Amino acid sequence: MRWIALLTLLAGCVPADEADPAVTPRLDAGPQADGFVAPPDRGRPATACDDVRLAAACPPGSNPVVLTEGCVAGAEFTQDDGTVTGFCAREGECIFACNFQDPCRCGVDRVTAEGVFCTDCREAAACGDAVCDRGENPQICAVDCGETCVADNERCIGNARQECEENGRWRTLDCRGDQLCQFGAVGNQIATVCQTRISAGGGDFPGFGRLEVPVTGDSMTIRFRERSVGGTGVRFVEDGARVLVQSGARFAIADPVGGTPLQTTNIPVGRDFSASPARVASAGRWPQLSEFFDDTGRTVEQMVHDGASAQPGAVALSGDDRLMAAAFAVGRRGGPQEPVLGIWRAEDGRVDHLLRFVDEDVVASQAPATAVALGLDGAAAVEARPGGIVIVWNVEQSRYAHLLQTEVGTVQRLVPSTAGDDLLLVGGDQGLELWEITPQPRRRWRQPGEAVRALAISPDSTAIAVGTGRTRILDAADGRELFPIATAGALDFDPRGGRLLVGDVIYTDAL
Protein backbone atom coordinates (compact mmCIF):
# COMPACT_ATOMS: atom_id res chain seq x y z
CA MET A 1 0.00 0.00 0.00
CA ARG A 2 1.38 3.37 -0.90
CA TRP A 3 1.76 5.69 2.06
CA ILE A 4 1.64 9.03 0.29
CA ALA A 5 -0.69 9.31 -2.67
CA LEU A 6 -0.69 12.15 -5.18
CA LEU A 7 -4.33 12.36 -6.20
CA THR A 8 -6.78 14.38 -8.30
CA LEU A 9 -10.53 14.91 -8.15
CA LEU A 10 -12.33 12.54 -10.52
CA ALA A 11 -15.72 14.22 -10.51
CA GLY A 12 -18.16 14.55 -13.39
CA CYS A 13 -20.36 17.45 -14.36
CA VAL A 14 -23.80 17.44 -12.71
CA PRO A 15 -26.72 19.88 -12.91
CA ALA A 16 -26.18 22.96 -10.81
CA ASP A 17 -29.39 22.44 -8.85
CA GLU A 18 -28.03 19.09 -7.59
CA ALA A 19 -24.74 20.53 -6.32
CA ASP A 20 -24.14 20.55 -2.59
CA PRO A 21 -22.35 23.84 -1.88
CA ALA A 22 -21.10 22.48 1.43
CA VAL A 23 -19.01 19.78 -0.21
CA THR A 24 -18.27 21.10 -3.70
CA PRO A 25 -14.75 22.39 -4.36
CA ARG A 26 -15.04 25.85 -5.87
CA LEU A 27 -12.39 27.74 -7.77
CA ASP A 28 -14.49 30.89 -7.56
CA ALA A 29 -15.15 30.75 -3.82
CA GLY A 30 -12.26 32.93 -2.73
CA PRO A 31 -8.47 33.01 -2.54
CA GLN A 32 -6.66 29.71 -2.36
CA ALA A 33 -2.87 29.69 -2.15
CA ASP A 34 -1.34 28.60 -5.45
CA GLY A 35 -4.80 27.76 -6.80
CA PHE A 36 -6.36 29.56 -9.75
CA VAL A 37 -9.09 31.99 -8.67
CA ALA A 38 -11.43 33.66 -11.09
CA PRO A 39 -11.08 37.46 -10.89
CA PRO A 40 -13.89 39.30 -9.08
CA ASP A 41 -16.67 40.97 -10.99
CA ARG A 42 -15.62 44.54 -11.77
CA GLY A 43 -19.06 46.06 -11.91
CA ARG A 44 -20.23 44.43 -15.13
CA PRO A 45 -23.52 42.51 -15.20
CA ALA A 46 -23.29 39.06 -13.60
CA THR A 47 -24.86 37.54 -16.70
CA ALA A 48 -22.14 38.84 -19.02
CA CYS A 49 -20.22 35.95 -20.58
CA ASP A 50 -17.99 37.87 -22.94
CA ASP A 51 -14.77 36.41 -24.25
CA VAL A 52 -12.54 38.82 -22.32
CA ARG A 53 -14.00 37.86 -18.95
CA LEU A 54 -13.87 34.15 -19.70
CA ALA A 55 -10.32 34.28 -21.04
CA ALA A 56 -9.23 35.98 -17.81
CA ALA A 57 -11.11 33.43 -15.70
CA CYS A 58 -9.47 30.34 -17.22
CA PRO A 59 -5.79 29.58 -16.53
CA PRO A 60 -3.17 29.66 -19.29
CA GLY A 61 -3.24 26.49 -21.34
CA SER A 62 -7.04 26.23 -21.40
CA ASN A 63 -9.87 27.59 -23.56
CA PRO A 64 -13.18 28.89 -22.13
CA VAL A 65 -16.45 27.54 -23.56
CA VAL A 66 -19.86 28.77 -22.36
CA LEU A 67 -22.12 25.94 -21.15
CA THR A 68 -25.88 25.82 -21.55
CA GLU A 69 -26.33 23.40 -18.63
CA GLY A 70 -25.11 23.92 -15.10
CA CYS A 71 -22.33 21.96 -13.47
CA VAL A 72 -20.44 22.01 -10.20
CA ALA A 73 -17.84 24.77 -10.17
CA GLY A 74 -14.43 23.16 -9.86
CA ALA A 75 -15.55 19.71 -11.03
CA GLU A 76 -13.25 18.12 -13.61
CA PHE A 77 -14.26 16.63 -16.94
CA THR A 78 -12.86 13.10 -16.80
CA GLN A 79 -12.97 10.47 -19.54
CA ASP A 80 -13.40 6.75 -18.85
CA ASP A 81 -9.65 6.18 -19.06
CA GLY A 82 -9.00 8.79 -16.37
CA THR A 83 -7.86 11.57 -18.72
CA VAL A 84 -8.89 15.00 -17.43
CA THR A 85 -9.84 17.38 -20.25
CA GLY A 86 -10.88 20.47 -18.26
CA PHE A 87 -12.96 21.76 -15.39
CA CYS A 88 -16.16 23.69 -14.81
CA ALA A 89 -16.19 27.28 -13.51
CA ARG A 90 -18.74 29.97 -12.75
CA GLU A 91 -18.77 33.77 -12.93
CA GLY A 92 -22.05 35.08 -11.53
CA GLU A 93 -24.71 33.59 -13.76
CA CYS A 94 -22.18 32.58 -16.38
CA ILE A 95 -21.29 28.87 -16.35
CA PHE A 96 -18.43 27.76 -18.55
CA ALA A 97 -15.77 25.12 -19.06
CA CYS A 98 -12.03 25.65 -19.10
CA ASN A 99 -10.95 23.02 -21.63
CA PHE A 100 -7.28 22.02 -21.44
CA GLN A 101 -5.33 22.47 -24.64
CA ASP A 102 -3.27 19.44 -23.58
CA PRO A 103 -5.47 16.96 -21.63
CA CYS A 104 -3.96 15.41 -18.50
CA ARG A 105 -3.79 11.66 -19.15
CA CYS A 106 -2.99 10.74 -15.55
CA GLY A 107 -4.86 13.51 -13.79
CA VAL A 108 -4.17 17.07 -12.69
CA ASP A 109 -1.40 17.84 -10.21
CA ARG A 110 -2.35 21.51 -9.75
CA VAL A 111 -3.93 24.50 -11.46
CA THR A 112 -2.25 27.83 -10.75
CA ALA A 113 -2.16 31.31 -12.22
CA GLU A 114 0.79 30.06 -14.32
CA GLY A 115 -1.19 27.30 -16.00
CA VAL A 116 -2.33 23.69 -15.80
CA PHE A 117 0.16 21.13 -14.49
CA CYS A 118 -0.56 17.50 -15.27
CA THR A 119 0.42 14.58 -13.10
CA ASP A 120 3.52 12.72 -14.23
CA CYS A 121 2.18 9.33 -15.25
CA ARG A 122 5.29 7.74 -13.79
CA GLU A 123 4.07 8.84 -10.36
CA ALA A 124 0.64 7.25 -10.74
CA ALA A 125 0.34 4.10 -8.63
CA ALA A 126 -0.89 0.82 -10.08
CA CYS A 127 -4.47 -0.34 -9.69
CA GLY A 128 -4.80 -2.62 -6.72
CA ASP A 129 -2.77 -0.69 -4.14
CA ALA A 130 -5.93 0.19 -2.15
CA VAL A 131 -5.58 3.89 -3.01
CA CYS A 132 -7.68 5.78 -5.56
CA ASP A 133 -4.73 7.48 -7.29
CA ARG A 134 -4.52 9.99 -10.11
CA GLY A 135 -5.67 8.40 -13.34
CA GLU A 136 -7.89 5.89 -11.51
CA ASN A 137 -11.66 5.99 -11.08
CA PRO A 138 -14.44 3.54 -10.17
CA GLN A 139 -14.85 2.56 -13.85
CA ILE A 140 -11.23 1.58 -14.56
CA CYS A 141 -10.13 0.55 -11.05
CA ALA A 142 -13.07 -0.50 -8.91
CA VAL A 143 -10.85 -2.28 -6.38
CA ASP A 144 -9.23 1.03 -5.39
CA CYS A 145 -12.02 3.49 -6.17
CA GLY A 146 -15.11 1.44 -5.35
CA GLU A 147 -17.95 2.96 -3.39
CA THR A 148 -17.89 0.54 -0.41
CA CYS A 149 -18.25 2.65 2.72
CA VAL A 150 -17.49 1.35 6.23
CA ALA A 151 -18.36 3.60 9.18
CA ASP A 152 -15.46 5.70 10.51
CA ASN A 153 -13.23 4.88 7.52
CA GLU A 154 -11.58 7.68 5.58
CA ARG A 155 -10.22 7.92 2.05
CA CYS A 156 -8.75 10.33 -0.47
CA ILE A 157 -10.59 10.99 -3.72
CA GLY A 158 -8.67 13.49 -5.76
CA ASN A 159 -8.03 16.61 -3.74
CA ALA A 160 -10.81 15.80 -1.29
CA ARG A 161 -10.90 13.93 1.99
CA GLN A 162 -13.88 11.69 2.55
CA GLU A 163 -15.17 10.21 5.80
CA CYS A 164 -17.69 7.38 5.89
CA GLU A 165 -20.73 8.24 7.99
CA GLU A 166 -22.91 5.79 9.91
CA ASN A 167 -25.52 5.92 7.14
CA GLY A 168 -23.00 4.35 4.76
CA ARG A 169 -22.43 7.47 2.70
CA TRP A 170 -19.17 9.30 2.10
CA ARG A 171 -18.97 12.86 3.45
CA THR A 172 -16.52 15.09 1.58
CA LEU A 173 -14.12 17.41 3.41
CA ASP A 174 -12.28 19.40 0.78
CA CYS A 175 -8.60 20.27 1.03
CA ARG A 176 -7.34 23.71 0.04
CA GLY A 177 -6.34 24.38 -3.54
CA ASP A 178 -2.63 24.08 -2.68
CA GLN A 179 -3.06 20.81 -0.75
CA LEU A 180 -3.41 17.11 -1.42
CA CYS A 181 -5.27 14.52 0.56
CA GLN A 182 -2.73 12.11 2.06
CA PHE A 183 -3.10 9.18 4.40
CA GLY A 184 -1.41 6.78 6.75
CA ALA A 185 -2.66 3.46 8.11
CA VAL A 186 -3.69 3.56 11.77
CA GLY A 187 -4.57 0.06 12.94
CA ASN A 188 -7.03 -1.27 10.35
CA GLN A 189 -8.28 2.16 9.33
CA ILE A 190 -7.07 4.90 7.01
CA ALA A 191 -6.47 8.29 8.60
CA THR A 192 -6.36 11.17 6.13
CA VAL A 193 -4.95 14.68 6.29
CA CYS A 194 -4.84 17.67 3.95
CA GLN A 195 -1.21 18.41 3.20
CA THR A 196 0.63 20.96 1.09
CA ARG A 197 0.64 19.94 -2.54
CA ILE A 198 4.11 21.12 -3.48
CA SER A 199 6.12 23.43 -1.27
CA ALA A 200 4.06 26.52 -1.98
CA GLY A 201 5.66 29.68 -0.60
CA GLY A 202 3.83 32.55 0.99
CA GLY A 203 2.94 31.05 4.36
CA ASP A 204 2.88 33.43 7.29
CA PHE A 205 5.51 33.17 10.01
CA PRO A 206 3.60 32.87 13.33
CA GLY A 207 6.61 33.54 15.56
CA PHE A 208 8.29 31.31 18.13
CA GLY A 209 6.27 32.59 21.09
CA ARG A 210 7.19 34.31 24.33
CA LEU A 211 7.91 32.72 27.71
CA GLU A 212 5.73 34.48 30.27
CA VAL A 213 8.11 34.06 33.22
CA PRO A 214 9.75 37.18 34.70
CA VAL A 215 13.51 37.25 34.13
CA THR A 216 15.25 38.07 37.42
CA GLY A 217 18.83 36.94 36.74
CA ASP A 218 21.62 38.19 34.49
CA SER A 219 22.62 35.42 32.10
CA MET A 220 25.52 37.44 30.67
CA THR A 221 27.34 37.36 34.05
CA ILE A 222 27.07 33.61 34.69
CA ARG A 223 30.50 32.62 36.00
CA PHE A 224 30.24 30.67 39.23
CA ARG A 225 29.87 26.96 39.92
CA GLU A 226 26.84 26.54 42.15
CA ARG A 227 26.11 22.84 42.77
CA SER A 228 25.83 19.40 41.22
CA VAL A 229 22.42 18.08 40.24
CA GLY A 230 23.09 14.43 41.07
CA GLY A 231 22.86 13.06 37.55
CA THR A 232 23.52 13.97 33.94
CA GLY A 233 21.42 17.10 33.49
CA VAL A 234 18.90 17.49 30.68
CA ARG A 235 16.92 20.66 31.45
CA PHE A 236 15.31 22.80 34.14
CA VAL A 237 11.68 22.01 35.05
CA GLU A 238 9.12 23.58 37.39
CA ASP A 239 10.29 27.09 36.40
CA GLY A 240 13.83 26.22 37.42
CA ALA A 241 13.07 24.70 40.83
CA ARG A 242 14.10 21.18 39.79
CA VAL A 243 16.08 19.48 37.03
CA LEU A 244 15.32 16.58 34.71
CA VAL A 245 18.39 14.32 34.63
CA GLN A 246 19.57 11.03 33.17
CA SER A 247 20.23 8.52 35.89
CA GLY A 248 21.75 5.47 34.24
CA ALA A 249 19.41 4.35 31.47
CA ARG A 250 16.38 6.14 32.98
CA PHE A 251 15.18 9.68 33.51
CA ALA A 252 14.84 11.14 37.00
CA ILE A 253 13.91 14.43 38.70
CA ALA A 254 16.59 16.10 40.83
CA ASP A 255 16.08 18.71 43.55
CA PRO A 256 19.53 20.30 43.88
CA VAL A 257 18.30 23.01 46.25
CA GLY A 258 16.39 20.87 48.73
CA GLY A 259 18.88 18.03 48.56
CA THR A 260 16.16 15.35 48.42
CA PRO A 261 16.97 12.03 46.71
CA LEU A 262 16.42 11.62 42.99
CA GLN A 263 12.83 10.95 42.00
CA THR A 264 13.42 8.11 39.55
CA THR A 265 11.06 7.16 36.72
CA ASN A 266 10.58 4.15 34.47
CA ILE A 267 11.09 6.24 31.34
CA PRO A 268 14.08 4.94 29.34
CA VAL A 269 16.56 7.31 27.72
CA GLY A 270 16.19 6.98 23.94
CA ARG A 271 18.81 7.39 21.24
CA ASP A 272 17.35 10.75 20.22
CA PHE A 273 14.99 12.50 22.62
CA SER A 274 13.59 15.92 23.47
CA ALA A 275 12.30 17.19 26.81
CA SER A 276 9.74 19.88 27.60
CA PRO A 277 8.72 21.08 31.10
CA ALA A 278 6.59 17.96 31.69
CA ARG A 279 7.24 15.45 28.92
CA VAL A 280 9.92 13.47 27.11
CA ALA A 281 9.63 12.45 23.47
CA SER A 282 11.82 9.69 22.03
CA ALA A 283 12.45 9.25 18.32
CA GLY A 284 11.89 6.00 16.49
CA ARG A 285 9.69 4.32 13.91
CA TRP A 286 6.96 4.54 16.54
CA PRO A 287 7.80 7.67 18.60
CA GLN A 288 7.25 7.45 22.35
CA LEU A 289 5.76 10.22 24.49
CA SER A 290 6.18 10.07 28.28
CA GLU A 291 4.95 12.15 31.21
CA PHE A 292 7.77 12.15 33.74
CA PHE A 293 5.82 13.64 36.66
CA ASP A 294 3.34 10.74 36.72
CA ASP A 295 5.74 8.20 35.15
CA THR A 296 3.48 7.22 32.26
CA GLY A 297 4.27 6.69 28.59
CA ARG A 298 2.65 5.70 25.33
CA THR A 299 3.34 5.21 21.66
CA VAL A 300 1.85 8.00 19.57
CA GLU A 301 -0.53 7.33 16.69
CA GLN A 302 1.14 5.56 13.78
CA MET A 303 1.96 7.74 10.81
CA VAL A 304 2.95 4.96 8.40
CA HIS A 305 1.66 1.44 7.96
CA ASP A 306 3.63 -1.72 8.62
CA GLY A 307 4.41 -2.34 4.97
CA ALA A 308 6.22 0.99 4.49
CA SER A 309 9.78 1.87 5.36
CA ALA A 310 10.27 4.69 7.86
CA GLN A 311 13.73 6.00 8.67
CA PRO A 312 13.40 8.13 11.84
CA GLY A 313 15.20 11.43 12.27
CA ALA A 314 15.16 14.11 14.96
CA VAL A 315 12.38 14.76 17.50
CA ALA A 316 11.21 17.87 19.39
CA LEU A 317 8.58 19.09 21.87
CA SER A 318 6.99 22.52 22.11
CA GLY A 319 7.78 24.48 25.26
CA ASP A 320 4.13 24.53 26.30
CA ASP A 321 3.97 20.70 26.23
CA ARG A 322 1.22 20.83 23.58
CA LEU A 323 2.83 19.36 20.46
CA MET A 324 5.51 16.88 19.46
CA ALA A 325 7.39 16.84 16.15
CA ALA A 326 9.34 13.94 14.65
CA ALA A 327 11.16 13.67 11.33
CA PHE A 328 11.05 10.66 9.01
CA ALA A 329 11.99 9.54 5.55
CA VAL A 330 9.18 7.26 4.37
CA GLY A 331 8.30 5.25 1.29
CA ARG A 332 7.94 1.77 -0.12
CA ARG A 333 10.43 -0.77 1.15
CA GLY A 334 13.36 -0.77 -1.24
CA GLY A 335 12.00 2.28 -3.06
CA PRO A 336 12.66 6.03 -2.90
CA GLN A 337 12.19 7.85 0.39
CA GLU A 338 10.32 11.10 1.05
CA PRO A 339 11.23 13.32 4.03
CA VAL A 340 8.22 14.19 6.21
CA LEU A 341 7.86 16.11 9.46
CA GLY A 342 5.02 14.75 11.58
CA ILE A 343 3.29 16.84 14.26
CA TRP A 344 1.38 15.08 17.05
CA ARG A 345 -0.85 16.40 19.84
CA ALA A 346 0.93 15.57 23.09
CA GLU A 347 -2.33 15.36 25.02
CA ASP A 348 -3.61 12.27 23.21
CA GLY A 349 -0.81 11.30 20.80
CA ARG A 350 -2.94 11.90 17.69
CA VAL A 351 -1.40 12.99 14.40
CA ASP A 352 -2.11 16.70 13.92
CA HIS A 353 -0.17 17.75 10.78
CA LEU A 354 2.20 16.28 8.19
CA LEU A 355 4.67 18.75 6.70
CA ARG A 356 6.61 17.94 3.56
CA PHE A 357 8.99 19.99 1.45
CA VAL A 358 9.49 18.32 -1.91
CA ASP A 359 11.16 20.87 -4.18
CA GLU A 360 14.16 18.86 -5.46
CA ASP A 361 15.69 21.98 -6.99
CA VAL A 362 16.23 23.21 -3.43
CA VAL A 363 16.52 20.02 -1.36
CA ALA A 364 17.43 16.91 -3.33
CA SER A 365 18.26 14.56 -0.44
CA GLN A 366 15.79 11.86 0.60
CA ALA A 367 17.19 11.75 4.15
CA PRO A 368 15.06 12.90 7.11
CA ALA A 369 15.67 16.15 8.96
CA THR A 370 18.92 16.20 10.92
CA ALA A 371 17.50 18.61 13.54
CA VAL A 372 14.00 19.69 14.51
CA ALA A 373 12.58 22.36 16.82
CA LEU A 374 9.15 23.71 17.76
CA GLY A 375 8.41 27.23 18.92
CA LEU A 376 7.26 27.75 22.48
CA ASP A 377 3.58 27.42 21.56
CA GLY A 378 4.08 25.02 18.65
CA ALA A 379 2.77 27.49 16.07
CA ALA A 380 6.12 27.44 14.23
CA ALA A 381 8.25 24.39 13.44
CA VAL A 382 11.82 24.34 12.16
CA GLU A 383 13.61 21.48 10.46
CA ALA A 384 17.13 21.19 9.04
CA ARG A 385 17.75 19.19 5.90
CA PRO A 386 21.02 17.98 4.36
CA GLY A 387 22.92 20.73 2.60
CA GLY A 388 22.43 23.25 5.39
CA ILE A 389 18.85 24.15 4.38
CA VAL A 390 16.62 25.17 7.30
CA ILE A 391 12.86 25.20 6.71
CA VAL A 392 10.66 27.40 8.93
CA TRP A 393 7.05 26.17 8.94
CA ASN A 394 3.69 27.61 9.90
CA VAL A 395 2.22 24.47 11.44
CA GLU A 396 -1.45 25.45 11.31
CA GLN A 397 -1.24 26.53 7.67
CA SER A 398 0.85 23.43 6.82
CA ARG A 399 3.07 25.72 4.75
CA TYR A 400 6.63 26.83 4.97
CA ALA A 401 7.20 30.50 5.76
CA HIS A 402 10.95 30.80 5.15
CA LEU A 403 13.92 28.90 3.75
CA LEU A 404 17.33 29.62 5.25
CA GLN A 405 20.59 28.68 3.57
CA THR A 406 23.07 28.23 6.39
CA GLU A 407 26.85 27.76 6.20
CA VAL A 408 27.45 25.51 9.20
CA GLY A 409 27.68 22.18 7.39
CA THR A 410 25.30 19.50 8.63
CA VAL A 411 22.90 21.17 11.06
CA GLN A 412 22.79 19.32 14.38
CA ARG A 413 21.05 21.80 16.71
CA LEU A 414 18.15 24.23 16.24
CA VAL A 415 17.15 26.45 19.19
CA PRO A 416 14.40 29.10 18.85
CA SER A 417 14.37 31.98 21.33
CA THR A 418 11.63 32.30 23.97
CA ALA A 419 11.81 36.09 24.41
CA GLY A 420 9.36 36.94 21.64
CA ASP A 421 12.12 38.31 19.39
CA ASP A 422 12.09 35.32 17.01
CA LEU A 423 15.80 34.53 17.02
CA LEU A 424 16.99 31.12 15.85
CA LEU A 425 20.28 29.46 16.78
CA VAL A 426 21.65 27.06 14.16
CA GLY A 427 24.53 24.79 15.18
CA GLY A 428 26.26 22.44 12.77
CA ASP A 429 29.40 20.36 12.40
CA GLN A 430 31.21 23.42 10.99
CA GLY A 431 30.12 26.23 13.28
CA LEU A 432 27.29 28.35 14.66
CA GLU A 433 24.92 31.01 13.30
CA LEU A 434 22.31 33.29 14.86
CA TRP A 435 19.37 34.28 12.65
CA GLU A 436 16.71 36.95 13.02
CA ILE A 437 13.58 35.48 11.43
CA THR A 438 11.30 38.56 11.29
CA PRO A 439 10.35 40.62 9.43
CA GLN A 440 12.57 38.90 6.86
CA PRO A 441 15.23 36.32 7.73
CA ARG A 442 18.65 37.84 8.33
CA ARG A 443 21.78 36.18 9.65
CA ARG A 444 23.06 38.31 12.53
CA TRP A 445 26.45 36.60 12.78
CA ARG A 446 28.30 33.39 12.04
CA GLN A 447 31.13 31.62 13.85
CA PRO A 448 32.86 28.97 11.73
CA GLY A 449 34.82 26.30 13.53
CA GLU A 450 34.17 23.33 15.78
CA ALA A 451 31.16 21.03 15.66
CA VAL A 452 28.35 22.20 17.94
CA ARG A 453 27.26 19.48 20.36
CA ALA A 454 25.01 21.50 22.70
CA LEU A 455 23.28 24.86 22.40
CA ALA A 456 21.02 27.14 24.46
CA ILE A 457 19.82 30.75 24.46
CA SER A 458 18.96 32.71 27.62
CA PRO A 459 15.30 33.60 28.29
CA ASP A 460 15.97 37.28 27.54
CA SER A 461 18.05 36.46 24.42
CA THR A 462 21.12 38.27 25.74
CA ALA A 463 23.44 35.27 26.16
CA ILE A 464 24.15 32.05 24.31
CA ALA A 465 25.73 28.88 25.68
CA VAL A 466 27.50 26.67 23.15
CA GLY A 467 29.16 23.31 23.74
CA THR A 468 31.90 22.06 21.43
CA GLY A 469 33.74 19.70 23.78
CA ARG A 470 34.11 22.74 25.99
CA THR A 471 31.49 25.30 26.97
CA ARG A 472 31.45 29.02 26.20
CA ILE A 473 29.00 31.78 27.06
CA LEU A 474 28.62 34.24 24.17
CA ASP A 475 27.09 37.68 23.78
CA ALA A 476 24.04 37.21 21.56
CA ALA A 477 24.49 40.67 20.07
CA ASP A 478 27.70 39.87 18.19
CA GLY A 479 28.83 36.34 19.15
CA ARG A 480 31.89 37.40 21.13
CA GLU A 481 32.93 35.15 24.02
CA LEU A 482 31.99 36.34 27.51
CA PHE A 483 33.29 33.49 29.65
CA PRO A 484 34.57 29.90 29.22
CA ILE A 485 33.31 27.05 31.41
CA ALA A 486 35.32 23.88 31.94
CA THR A 487 32.32 21.55 32.30
CA ALA A 488 30.73 20.04 29.17
CA GLY A 489 27.36 18.42 28.52
CA ALA A 490 23.76 19.31 27.77
CA LEU A 491 22.93 23.01 28.16
CA ASP A 492 19.83 24.78 29.46
CA PHE A 493 19.19 28.23 30.93
CA ASP A 494 16.95 28.66 33.95
CA PRO A 495 13.71 30.24 32.59
CA ARG A 496 14.19 33.11 35.07
CA GLY A 497 17.73 33.75 33.85
CA GLY A 498 20.91 33.92 35.89
CA ARG A 499 21.59 30.17 36.00
CA LEU A 500 22.88 27.69 33.46
CA LEU A 501 22.77 23.90 33.56
CA VAL A 502 25.95 22.43 32.07
CA GLY A 503 25.95 18.66 32.19
CA ASP A 504 25.69 17.71 35.87
CA VAL A 505 26.50 21.18 37.28
CA ILE A 506 24.50 24.38 37.71
CA TYR A 507 26.38 27.66 37.19
CA THR A 508 25.05 31.00 38.41
CA ASP A 509 25.60 34.75 38.07
CA ALA A 510 26.62 35.39 41.69
CA LEU A 511 28.49 33.69 44.54
Report the pLDDT value the prediction gives residue 415, as an integer from 0 to 100: 97
Q: Which amino acid is at 155?
A: R
* HEC assignment per residue over 132-143: CCCCCCCCCCHH
Q: Which amino acid is at 9?
A: L
Q: Tell me the domains of the chain and their CATH numbers.
A: 16-196 (no CATH), 219-508 (2.130.10.10)
Q: Which amino acid is at 79?
A: Q
Burial class (CB in 10 A: 0-12, 13-18, 19+), 246: middle
Dist CA 371 CA 409 (whole Å): 12
Dist CA 177 CA 196 (whole Å): 9
Q: Which amino acid is at 56?
A: A
Report the pLDDT value the prediction gives residue 295, as an integer from 0 to 100: 76
Dist CA 428 CA 397 (whole Å): 28
CA distances from 289 to 191, 279, 380, 444 (A): 20, 7, 20, 35
Residues in the chain with pLDDT values less than 50: 1-47, 184-190, 197-200
Whether the bond into 439 is cis, omega within 30 of 0: yes
- Three-class SS of residue 489? coil
Task: Please state the separation of Cα 165 from the chain's center in Å.
Answer: 29
Q: How many residues does the chain have?
A: 511
DSSP symbol at 407: S
Handedness of CA 414, 495, 236, 482 (dihedral sign): positive
Handedness of CA 419, 206, 193, 314 (dihedral sign): negative
Q: Which amino acid is at 182?
A: Q
Q: Which amino acid is at 346?
A: A
Entry pTM: 0.63
HSE, CB side, 13 Å, CA atoms: give it for residue 383: 29
Find the helix or strand (DSSP H, E) in which 51 lies: helix 51-57
Identify the CA nearest to 356 among candidates 106, 221, 184, 227: 184
